[in-house]
Amino acid sequence: MAKIIDGKAISQQIKDELKSYVEENDLGKKLCLAVVQAGEDPASKVYVNNKKKACEYIGIGSQSFELPEDTTQDELLSLIDRLNEDETVTGILVQLPLPGQIDEDTVIRRISPKKDVDGFHPMNVGALSIGEKGFVSCTPAGIIELLKRSDIEIEGKECVVVGRSNIVGKPMSMLMLRENATVTICHSRTRKLPEVCKRADILIVAIGKPKFIDHTYIKDGAVVIDVGIHRMENGKLCGDVDYEDVAPLCSAITPVPGGVGPMTIAMLMSNCVQADC
């Protein structure tokens, strides 16, 4: 039977550790996350609210900036300039996606790398790739915590990452390399994907296609991490992995919901706490 990796419990454990750390080091008044949202995307509103609640839980400050849908790029950039300068703001997060008239890359580059708690700025991405200190993208950082706190050995293992996005696939691959796994990165042009995936001791899937990965992609005893999240017609959530079909073959697997999802916010809080260092 596959071990079910409980992301909800692990993320709660991390948030409780951070809460104690903030208390013990009297960081509550020193740390403040600025969350910026432009537009009315309902999912973004939920995410922004959850981030504010998480700040409250671990005992750090937060400020929110809700800008209208027709905000210009210059208006958003000048708000970021202001937050970069503001010494009471230690972390800045711009909720994506942004309205079409605003270029996301330009916005990400404008955030001071020292306050870029999402870890998306090219300076932080570069730091990760050369093994220097910096903020790491939250979802991949959360997956490393899930593996470590579930006592899953990474060093020397064959790891296949499916997906090469800047926010998940690429940083995930760099982190697994940093943990001394042997890493293969796959994408939409990869040939014989099932064969490549079947080599994996640890298979990490972030492709954005519901239930795409079935048992034909899985080696017996593999650890499977499912980053995908989709709402099905019946209202239930599912991942990029066909959980029922794959779980019997795995030694460990993340469920959706309750696997990778809750870790993203826990690692955001971890980055916010590190913003003091």
> Applying CB under 6 A, which residues contact ligand NDP?
139, 162-165, 167-169, 186-190, 193, 206-209, 227-229, 240, 260-261, 264
Closest separation in Å from C-beta 115 to ligand NDP: 21
Residue tagged active-site, from 15, 37, 51, 211: 51
Give yes or no: 220 in active site: no
If the CB atoms of residues 88 and 166 are measured against ligand NDP, the closer one turns out to be 166
Give yes or no: 245 in active site: no
If the CB atoms of residues 32 and 207 are measured against ligand NDP, the closer one turns out to be 207
Give yes or no: 157 in active site: no
Angstrom distance (rounded) from CA 266 to CA 146: 11
Residue tagged active-site, from 6, 15, 37, 95: 95
If the CB atoms of residues 255 and 261 are measured against ligand NDP, the closer one turns out to be 261
Angstrom distance (rounded) from CA 260 to CA 269: 15
Q: In the bound complex, which residue of the shown chain has the CB atom lying closest to ligand NDP? A: 165
If the CB atoms of residues 227 and 272 are measured against ligand NDP, the closer one turns out to be 227
Closest separation in Å from C-beta 137 to ligand NDP: 9
Closest separation in Å from C-beta 122 to ligand NDP: 17
Closest separation in Å from C-beta 32 to ligand NDP: 23
Catalytic residues: 51, 95, 118
